[in-house]
Amino acid sequence: MDFSLDDEQVALRDAVRSLVTKTYGDFEQRRRASAAEPGYDESLWRQLAEMGVLGLPFAEDDGGMGAGPVEVALVAAELGRVLAPEPFLASVVLAGGAVAAAGTADQRSELLGALASGERLLALAHEETVPVTASRSGEGWSLTGTKEPVLHGARADLLVVSAALPDGGTGLFLVEGTDAETDGYRTYDGGRAARVRLRDAPATALGEPGADQATTLAGVLAAARLAACHEALGGMEAALAATTAYLKSRKQFGVTLNTFQALNFRAADMYVSLELTRSIVDWATMVLATGDPARAGEASARAALQTSRAGRHIGQEAIQLHGGIAMTAEYLVGNITAHLTVLDHLLGDGRQHLGTLMTGVGDYEALDPLDPTMRSTSSQ
Amino acid sequence: MRLELSAEDQAFREEMRGFFTTEVPQEIRSTVLEGRELSRDQIVTSQRILNAAGLAVPHWPVDDGGRDWTDLQRHIWHEEMQQAGVPAPLAFNASMIGPVLAQFATPEMKRRFLPATANLDIWWSQGFSEPDAGSDLAGLRTTAVRDGEDWVVNGQKTWTTLGQYGDWIFTLVRTDPEAKKQSGISMLLIDMTSPGLEVRPIELIDGGHEVNEVWFTDVRVPGENLVGEVNQGWTMAKFLLGNERVGVAPVGAVKRALARAKQLAGAQLDDPLTRARVAELENQLLALELTALRVVANSADGAPHPASSVLKLRGTELQQAVSELILDLAGPASLGARGAEDSDLPGWARRSAPTYLNLRKASIYGGSNEIQRQIIARTILGL
């Protein structure tokens, strides 16, 4: 058991940190980027591509860097720390993850290479308001229904769409952005999402045509959920750091706020939440790296439940301890809280994960992170 | 980052599990696993079995009977012991006075006390707290005045846990009334059969007799029983209290209690509210256990990991929450008192309320959780 990073991982983290801090170290720049279309800094996106970050998790044969969940985690955390609005999670982890997991060799090398180089932006459309169904259409497929919210759906060149198959099950399809009716909007955290209407939209099956990809999709979502947890960790860490600095500098009643024990104790509890979350999220990332989908799915739900609780605790307290300034759009902390709220609801929220986890509690004695089965057996 | 234990640590874990589940009598482990009170004999028997196998005081210096284990191995030892229901070696001996003597005592004093301390031939009590000196320990007032070769001790200690069993008591006493708070304190070892020493029980809200007052009236203590130098007691106290916080997160014991709660819940586990409560607690406990592992796995350089202060705070909160769950599972059946042997109510249900009430202490002792928050705020966050 080892929670530390190796030298290459530290180098990756430092490189990404330096790059994103140059762009978003001043929060005003993030405000400007998210105010303008497409909602992020396209030159930073190109630089991330040049650094290899956009191809990080993909196999080298597919045009990627062949790195794993830990490297993805490091990038997500650094983006979260400065609240970078770049579509790393949406495009690389979610859409790219789906192509990597379900695509044929040709699809993988074509699409992932283009994604990694920053040439094409991919988005995954999986949440829906009108169920999307797939039907066979000549040699290919056509899709009908409405997906929303689709992260970066309006800017995306290519959509990866989940749809009900005619014979049951869930298929994954590729739809050109130009073949869908997309209405993009700003989400409340300054991000971008879209309603994507598909009316007999021409589609290509991702991977084997007609195959049920529900399990594959679940695996992609589990991996993305963990990346979202790391993004949240970066945000929570930044929120705590900002709060601590504020308590030491802001004066009320003629003294700095850290003169008041009640406030310091609340900051201490934020630290407790942060460290507990880091432990379980890092652990779940290691579980994901073992490549066992069932264990990864559960570990990801466990990490997400803890992250949901901590994100709300830290986000809410960060605003309260700052006072009114944190309510303003121009100040970092309130925006972090808004983004933590988005991350919480993006891939199943705490309530939903708890609902999943509680069904099984009677089936085992205790959890044991050191056991390969994640369950302990009786030692009585 | 690596998920698994190394083959060596895995083998170590199996060795510990094997020993604890086979070498310590089932009757003692059942007492722990079922949440009943251990007798003095059971605690002594268990510690002697561990000591004979070199497992009672592995964290002591090797020259004094310790083992050269890594922090992770100590963690595994501790967790497996708790999971198996083996009573932990008496903390006053193994975690408190033992390491202090190993660090500060003369070779002669070590020879006299350490082997007996490891084997629980001497049952130590702790004499630190006083009625007006709890978290503010430096305000203690019990005095020791030099009289020829001896010290003469007067004053009162309180919260002396299991003092009714104690053979010896290690105390902090004021040896220089003129000096400022911390600087006039020394550490004395006192034979509890000394004339003028009186142990009076304190009855607690759980109905049990766990703590005591210890009164000193002109108690004569030989000069050689002073540990270290005169007026250096505070250094030793800080060393001891620092050790006390390590391994104070009772992860293994809380896990065992929560697993047992699921067993006791029976049909109540069909209730979604109960299931959700259990699942939430399990997840929080998992996060805590992983934090403990992170701390031990990454503290190889000897400096304590900053997150270690989280362990006592959160560990005791979860310990209390699990006891509350068991109390609620018992419901009205919890009304029967601990000793009501002619009751038809199940024993676990009758013990649930006293346990719940008793564990309120966990967020107070070992540096109250407010002190822990203060440590985090001050030393980690720099507030």
Strands A122-125 and A158-164: parallel
Enumerate the residues of chain B whose CB falls inside 8 A of the CB of residue A1.
Answer: 2-5, 9, 72, 293, 297
pLDDT in the model for residue B295 = 87
Structure tokens at B49: 């079995």
- Computed on alpha carbons and rounded to an integer, the radius of gyration of chain A in Å comes to 21
- Terminus-to-terminus CA distance in chain B, angstroms? 32
Question: For residue A327, what are its two tokens?
Answer: 């309510």
Contact B272 A264 (CB under 8 A): no
Q: Indicate the residue of B297, B378, B381 with minimum beta-carbon distance to A1.
A: B297
Using the structure block, give the residue that is written with the tokens 């009114």.
A324
Q: How confident is the model at residue B303 (pLDDT cuts 50, 70, 90)?
A: low
Which two three-digit tokens encode residue A190? Answer: 């300054």
Q: Which residues have C-beta within 8 Å of that of residue A377, sequence separation ≥ 6?
A: A365, A371
- Alpha carbons within 13 angstroms on the beta-carbon side of residue A272 total 25
Nearest chain A residue (CA) to B260: A365
Residue of chain B nearest A302, judged by CA positions? B283
Chain B nearest-CA distance from A84, in A, is: 25
Q: Does A302 touch chain B (CB under 8 A)?
A: yes
**Count, residues in chain B:** 383
Cβ-nearest to B291 among A258, A276, A376: A276
Quick check: B244 pLDDT over 70? Answer: no
* Phi, psi of B305, rounded to the nearest 5 degrees: -65, 135
Average pLDDT value for residue range B325-336: 96
Angle, helices B272-297/A261-289, rounded to nearest 10 degrees:
90
**Residue pair A347/A304 in contact by the 8 Å Cβ criterion:** yes
Helices (H), ranges, B149-303: 233-245, 251-265, 272-297
Of A353-362, B133-142, B245-254, B311-320, least confident by mean pLDDT is B245-254
Contact list, A265 vs chain B (CB under 8 Å): 370, 373-374, 377
Assigned token pair, B80: 């497996």
Tokens 């991982």 — which residue?
A: A9
Q: What are the chain B neighbours of A269 within 8 Å (beta carbons)?
A: 373
Chosen for mutation from B290, B305, B329, B378 (greatest number of chain A CBs closer than 10 Å) is: B290
Q: Which residues of chain A have pLDDT under 70?
A: 378-380
pLDDT band at B178 (very low <50, low <70, confident <90, very high): very high
Contacts of A75 by beta carbon, 8 Å cutoff, 6+ apart:
A12, A16, A53, A56, A88
User: Using a CB-CB distance cutoff of 8 angstroms, which residues of chain B are in contact with residue A264?
Assistant: 373-374, 377-378, 381, 383
A346 touches chain B (CB under 8 A): no
What is the torsional sign of CA A14, A19, A22, A25? negative
Residues B285-315 as b/e (b if ≥16 CB within 10 A, e otherwise) read bbbbbbbbbbbbbbbeeeeebebbbbbbbbb
Angle at B168 between CA B164 and CA B174, to 5 degrees: 105
Structure tokens at B154: 């007067």
Q: Which pLDDT does position B362 carry in this prediction?
A: 93
Asked if A377 is an interface residue toward chain B (Cβ–Cβ < 8 A), one would say no
Closest residue of chain A to B371, computed from CA coordinates = A265
Say what the pTM is.
0.95
Helix (H) or strand (E) holding A90: none
Cα separation of B31 and B309, whole Å?
31
Query: From CA B192, how far away is CA B169, in angstroms rounded?
Result: 6
User: Which three-class secondary structure state does DSSP give residue B294?
Assistant: helix
Is B244 an active-site residue? Answer: yes
Q: For residue range A250-265, what is the model confidence (pLDDT) as tens digits?
A: 999 999 999 999 999 9
- Give me the pLDDT at residue B302, please: 57
A355 contacts in chain B (CB < 8 Å): 276
Residue of B nearest to A301 (CA): B283
What is residue B182's predicted lDDT score, i.e. its pLDDT? 87
Confidence band for B247, pLDDT divided at 50, 70 and 90: low
Among chain B residues, the shortest Cα distance to A299 is held by B283
Q: Which residues 73-102 on chain A approach chain B with CB closer than 8 angstroms?
A: none
Q: State which residue of chain B sits closest to A287, comparing Cα positions.
A: B3
With CA atoms as reference, the chain A residue closest to B369 would be A265
Instruction: Note the pLDDT of residue B246.
Output: 57
Q: Which residues of A touch B376 (CB under 8 A)?
A: 268, 271-272
pLDDT-derived band of residue B304, with 50, 70 and 90 as boundaries?
A: low
Where is B49: in which H helix or E strand? helix B40-52
Q: Which residues of B touch A4 (CB under 8 A)?
A: 1, 297-298
Instruction: Let me know if A49 is exposed, middle or buried by CB neighbors in 10 A (0-12, 13-18, 19+).
Output: middle
Question: How far is the alpha carbon of B32 from chain A, nearest alpha carbon, in Å?
Answer: 11
Task: Identify all chain B residues contacting A305, using CB atoms and an 8 Å cutoff.
Answer: 280, 283
Query: Residues B376, B310: contact at Cβ < 8 Å?
Result: yes
Query: Is B5's CB within 8 Å of A70's CB?
Result: no
Scan for tokens 């919480």, then name that residue: A344
Contact across the interface for A4 and B5, Cβ inside 8 Å: no
Write down the catalytic residue from B79, B80, B130, B244. Answer: B244
Cβ burial, residue B22 (10 Å; 0-12/13-18/19+): exposed
With an 8 Å Cβ cutoff, is A277 touching chain B?
A: yes
ipTM exceeds 0.90: yes
Instruction: Select from A256, A279, A378 the residue whose CB has the most chain B CBs within 10 Å, as the one to mutate to test that interface.
Output: A279
First to last CA, chain A: 25
Say whether residue A373 is in contact with chain B using an 8 A CB cutoff: no
For residue B253, CA distances in Å to A115, B2, B54, B321 come to: 50, 26, 22, 13
Per the DSSP assignment, residues forming a β-bridge with A123 are A159
Q: Where are the alpha helices (DSSP H) in chain A?
A: 7-24, 27-35, 42-51, 69-81, 97-102, 105-107, 113-116, 214-249, 261-289, 293-322, 332-346, 350-359
Task: State chain B's mean pLDDT as an integer.
Answer: 93
Chain B partners within 8 Å of A349 (Cβ): none
Residues in chain A: 380
Are B275 and A306 within 8 A, CB to CB?
no
Q: Is the pLDDT of residue B300 over 80?
A: no
pLDDT band at B207 (very low <50, low <70, confident <90, very high): confident
Which of A275, A371, A374 to mutate against chain B (most B CBs within 10 Å)? A275
Which of A265, A277, A305 lies nearest to residue B377, judging by beta carbons? A265
Task: Report whether pLDDT(B218) > 70.
Answer: yes
Rounded Cα–Cα distance for residues B148 and B150 (Å)? 6
Question: Across the interface, which of B13, B275, B286 has its CB nearest the CB of A369?
Answer: B286
Tokens at residue A205, please? Answer: 């099956």
Cβ pairs bridging A and B (under 8 Å) = 161
